[in-house]
């Protein structure tokens, strides 16, 4: 299977050419966040304090993950994706500010899919549970905000060939629906 | 009320009583927490390989291969196969001729979980109150199910359970008239609704009968059965096969990206039901189907 390579930050053109089902290898900086971090970030946006966000979402990728603790001598713990729907209430606000992609596992809401169409963003699936393998593509990791949240703190990862699949593209396509249609036995 | 003294009993009946110290229990639980998270069972690995061979989608095949590789890395490097190291669910089978000494049995198990998750760099995913949601910091408390059985052994089974797949599990109090067709429809509905969220390929534990909580427990116990082992009840064995084919034919596939390996196995456990009820529970386990047991 052909794999596309992308390096962050991403432009509209980078994501507009992606189509559902494509396998992508990501390199560069990515940011992490789960439920609690998202709530804090969106509260800031709603309060008009965009400049206080842990990072500028423009052109960036956010990865929904809460890593396991880092063993001594290692870069990061195991870190596969968490289920994305819990971030659905917050995601449109971030795409609106220029976020180009999110990485997680599981279906997104119609509102998030609509926001991705409108603001030119995509959603990638990482392989849920392949956490020891995914950790191999993370070359450095540091907490940049909300250390009080523990595993849920916002991390900055430097990644190399981080493997994902395009699930929702900028056209509103949804691999979770299309994939099933191809393989369902009637 | 009559209180029998243990030693008197021994003298009269000659019954053997085994004494187990709580420190041994704590050590074993701590060790199992790490082992379960680092070393995926051989039966699951075999099921991955079979899934890889049978999968018809190219992406699905790639995913099966990634999962095999992931389990190998976890085992070689002794790191958790998944970042969600789970809720520590423990099944105890306590022989009625066992005496526990050295303290509180449940506290000994809790201490084992605390040590295992802390020393093993496992993720702590438990909040002390479901609404206040403050992390306990050591993955305690565990959920403990105890059964008293004949004999002089203590069997401890630890099954760390991930949140993603637990969240997609369901229970339904059906009507007896819904029958086996109703059960099938419900299992398929649960699978469809779960889609990519529980990290397929999954194992479906189906509990049929009993009361509401009994059905849920049966479903969870069904997940402990070795993949590839036959159900003792030939009718249920047939139903398992039929359901496996049906849920895989939904086309959900590995990770929900399309394919024919949504489930690696369907395991059913049944129990007597009330004349008025047909409880059915479906507990989903992700491919990180972790469990370890020890007999003391
Ligand atoms: S559902 Fe299982 S494999 Fe997926 S993230 Fe949770 S524990 Fe890991």
Burial of A13 (0-12, 13-18, 19+ CB in 10 A): exposed
Rounded to whole angstroms, the Cα distance separating B142 from B100 reads 19
Nearest CA to ligand 1 atom 8: A129
What is the 8-class DSSP label of residue B135? B
Q: Tell me which DSSP letter residue B151 carries.
A: S
Task: Report d(CA B55, CA B152) in Å as an integer.
Answer: 46
Asked if residue A98 lies in contact with residue A114, where contact means CB atoms within 8 angstroms, the answer is no
Sign of the CA dihedral A16, A17, A20, A25? negative
Nearest CA among B289, B98, B69 for reference residue B201: B289
- At A149 the pLDDT is 87
Q: What is the pLDDT of residues B80-94, one digit of tens each?
A: 999 999 999 999 999
**pLDDT given at position B125:** 93
| Confidence band of A150 (pLDDT split at 50, 70, 90) | confident
pLDDT for residue B4: 46
Tokens representing B172 are: 């339904």
Q: What is the pLDDT of residue B13?
A: 57
User: Does the N-terminal peptide bond of residue B141 adopt cis geometry, omega within 30 degrees of 0?
Assistant: yes
pTM of the model: 0.93
- Under DSSP, the state recorded for A174 is B
- Asked if residue B279 has pLDDT above 70, the reply is yes
The answer to whether the beta carbons of residues B187 and B181 sit under 8 Å apart is no
Reported as a pLDDT band with limits 50, 70 and 90, residue B12 is low
Within 8 A of B73 by CB-CB distance, chain A residues are: 132-133, 136
Beta strand B263-273 with B154-161: parallel, antiparallel or unpaired? unpaired
pLDDT at A1: 56
Give the pLDDT of residue B16: 79
pLDDT > 80? residue B11: no
| CA nearest to A78, candidates A154, A8, A40, A135 | A135
Helix residue ranges per DSSP H, B223-257: 234-248
- Cis geometry, peptide bond prior to residue A129 (ω within 30 degrees of 0): no
- Residue B7 — very low, low, confident or very high, per pLDDT cuts 50/70/90? very low
What SS3 class is residue A177?
helix
pLDDT in tens, B202-256: 999 999 999 999 999 999 999 999 998 999 999 999 999 999 999 999 999 999 9
Q: Tens digit of pLDDT for each residue in B141-194?
A: 999 999 999 999 999 999 999 999 999 999 999 999 999 999 999 999 999 999
| A41: phi then psi, degrees, rounded to nearest 5 | -65, -45
Sign of CA dihedral B77, B82, B87, B90: negative
The pLDDT-based confidence of B19 (bands split at 50, 70, 90) is very high
Which whole number is the average pLDDT over B3-29? 73
pLDDT attached to residue A3: 83
Tokens of B224: 């402990």
Q: What average pLDDT is seen over chain B?
A: 94
- Return the sign of the alpha-carbon dihedral for residues B293, B81, B168, B62: negative
> Cβ(A80) to ligand 1 under 6 A?
yes
Backbone φ/ψ region at B251: left (φ over 0), alpha (ψ -120 to 50), beta = left
How close is the Cα of A128 to the center of ligand 1, in Å? Answer: 6
Q: How far is A73 from chain B (nearest CA, A)?
A: 12
pLDDT of residue B133: 87
Shortest distance between the Cα of B150 and any Cα of chain A, in A, equals: 39
Per the CB < 8 A criterion, the answer to whether A33 and A12 are in contact is no
Q: Which residue has the tokens 């030693």?
A: B7
Q: Residue B263's pLDDT is what?
A: 98
Tokens of B169: 């599990």
pLDDT at residue A2 is higher than 90 = no
Pocket-testing residue among B167, B198, B284, B290, ligand 1, by greatest number of atoms within 8 A of Cβ? B198
Query: Does pLDDT of B198 surpass 70?
Result: yes
- Is the ipTM, as predicted for this complex, more than 0.90? yes
Name the one residue in this structure whose structure tokens are 């099938």: B184
Residues sharing a CB contact under 8 Å with residue B239, sequence separation 6 or more, in sequence order: B180, B183, B184, B268
Which of the following is catalytic: A38, A100, A105, A120?
A38
Ramachandran area for residue A21 (φ above 0: left; ψ -120 to 50: alpha; else beta): left
Q: What percent of chain A has pLDDT over 90?
A: 95
What are the residues facing B185 on neighbouring strands? none
| pLDDT tens for each residue of A53-68 | 999 999 999 999 999 9
Classified as helix, coil or strand, A178 is helix
Q: Which residues of A68-87 are buried (b: 16+ CB within 10 A; e: fewer)?
A: bbbbeeeebbbbbbbbbbeb
* Cβ–Cβ under 8 Å, residues B139 and B58: no
Q: Is B196 in the pocket of ligand 1 (CB under 6 A)?
A: no
Q: Which of B62, B84, B256 sits opposite A1 (nearest CB)?
A: B62
Confidence of residue B1 (pLDDT cuts 50, 70, 90): very low
Q: Which residues contact B119 (CB under 8 A, 6 or more apart)?
A: B30, B34
pLDDT at B287: 94
Rounded mean pLDDT, A35-50: 95
Segment A68-95 shows an average pLDDT of 95
| Long-range own/partner contacts, residues A83-91 (CB < 8 A, 24 or more apart) | A83/A128, A83/B164, A83/B167, A83/B197, A84/A108, A84/A123, A85/A109, A85/B197, A86/A34, A86/A35, A87/A33, A87/A34, A87/A35, A87/A38, A88/A112, A89/A42, A90/A38, A90/A39, A90/A41, A90/A42, A91/A38, A91/A115
Query: Where does the pLDDT of residue A165 fall: very low under 50, low under 70, confident under 90, or very high at 90 and above?
Result: very high
Residue B2 predicted with pLDDT over 70: no
Give the pLDDT confidence score for residue B282 in this predicted structure: 98
Q: Which of A163, A180, A185 to mutate to test the interface with B (most CBs of B within 10 A)?
A: A180
- Alpha-carbon distance B230 to B197, whole Å? 28
pLDDT tens digit sequence for B82-138? 999 999 999 999 999 999 999 999 999 999 999 999 999 999 999 999 999 889 999
Contact check, Cβ <8 Å, A128/B196: yes
Active site residue A155: no
Is the distance from CB of B287 to CB of B264 less than 8 angstroms?
yes
What does the pLDDT average to over A90-105?
Answer: 97
Mean pLDDT (chain A, rounded): 95
Q: Regarding beta strands A154-168 and A122-125, do their DSSP bridges make them parallel or antiparallel, or are they unpaired?
A: antiparallel
Best mutation site among B88, B89, B123, B286 for ligand 1 pocket (most ligand atoms within 8 Å of CB): B286
What per-residue confidence (pLDDT) applies to B10? 53
DSSP string, B93-131: EEETTEEEESS-HHHHHHHHHHHHHHHTT-----BSSTT
């Amino acid at each position: 299977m052909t794999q596309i390579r992308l390096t962050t930050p991403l432009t509209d053109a980078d994501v507009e050419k992606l189509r559902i089902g494509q396998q992508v290898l990501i390199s560069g900086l990515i940011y992490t966040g789960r439920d609690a971090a998202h709530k804090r970030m969106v509260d800031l946006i709603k309060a008009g304090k965009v400049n206080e966000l842990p990072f500028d979402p423009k052109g960036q990728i956010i990865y929904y993950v809460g890593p396991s603790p880092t063993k001594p001598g290692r870069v990061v713990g195991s870190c596969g994706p968490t289920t994305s729907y819990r971030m659905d209430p917050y995601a449109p606000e971030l795409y609106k500010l220029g976020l180009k992609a999110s990485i997680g596992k599981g279906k997104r809401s119609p509102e998030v899919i609509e926001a991705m169409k409108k603001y030119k963003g995509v959603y990638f699936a990482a392989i849920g549970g392949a956490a020891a393998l995914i950790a191999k593509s993370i070359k450095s990791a540091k907490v940049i905000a909300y250390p009080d949240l523990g595993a849920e703190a916002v991390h900055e990862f430097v990644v190399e060939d981080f493997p994902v699949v395009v699930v929702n593209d900028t056209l509103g396509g949804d691999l979770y629906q299309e994939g099933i249609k191809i393989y369902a036995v009637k | 009320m009559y209180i029998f003294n243990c030693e008197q009993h021994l003298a009269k009946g000659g019954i053997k009583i085994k004494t187990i110290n709580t420190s041994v229990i704590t050590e074993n639980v701590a060790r199992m927490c790490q082992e379960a998270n680092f070393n995926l069972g051989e039966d699951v690995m075999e099921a991955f390989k079979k899934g890889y061979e049978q999968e018809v989608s190219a992406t699905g095949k790639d995913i099966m291969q990634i999962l095999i590789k992931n389990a190998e890395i976890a085992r070689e490097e002794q790191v958790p196969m998944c970042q969600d190291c789970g809720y520590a669910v423990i099944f105890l089978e306590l022989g009625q001729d066992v005496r526990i000494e050295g303290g509180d049995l449940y506290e000994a198990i809790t201490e084992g979980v605390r040590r295992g998750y802390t020393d093993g760099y496992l993720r702590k995913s438990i909040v002390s109150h479901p609404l206040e949601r403050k992390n306990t910091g050591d993955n305690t408390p565990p959920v403990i199910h105890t059964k008293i059985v004949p004999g002089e052994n203590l069997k401890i089974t630890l099954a760390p359970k991930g949140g993603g797949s637990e969240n997609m599990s369901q229970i339904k109090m059906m009507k007896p008239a819904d029958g086996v067709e109703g059960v099938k429809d419900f299992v398929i509905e649960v699978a469809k609704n779960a889609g990519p969220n529980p990290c397929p390929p999954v194992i479906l534990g189906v509990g049929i009968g009993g009361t509401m909580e009994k059905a849920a427990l049966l479903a969870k116990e069904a997940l402990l059965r070795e993949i590839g082992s036959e159900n003792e009840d030939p009718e249920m064995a047939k139903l398992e096969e039929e359901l496996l084919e049906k849920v895989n034919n939904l086309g959900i596939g590995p990770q929900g990206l399309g394919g024919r390996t949504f489930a690696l196995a369907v395991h059913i456990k049944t129990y007597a039901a009330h004349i008025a009820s047909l409880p059915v529970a479906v507990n989903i386990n992700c491919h990180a189907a972790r469990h370890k047991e020890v007999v003391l």
